[in-house]
Amino acid sequence: MANTSSAKKKTRVIERKTISREMQKSKIKTLIKNVESLIAKKDQKSALDQLKKIDSKLQAAGNKKILTKAKISRIQKRLNSRLVGISKK
Q: Is the pTM of this model over 0.85?
A: no
Domain with 51 in it: what CATH number? Answer: 1.20.58.110
Residue 89: pLDDT band (50, 70, 90) is: low
Length of the chain: 89
* For helices 5-40 and 44-63, angle between their N-to-C axes, nearest 10 degrees: 160
Radius of gyration of the CA atoms of the chain, in A:
18
Cβ neighbors of 34 (< 8 A, separation 6 or more) are 50
d(CA 31, CA 35): 6
Can you give the residue range of the structural domain that contains 84? Answer: 5-88
Residue 85: pLDDT band (50, 70, 90) is: confident
pLDDT above 80 (res 1): no
Contact between residue 48 and residue 76 where contact means Cβ atoms under 8 Å apart: no
**What is the domain count for the chain?**
1
Mean pLDDT of 48-62: 93
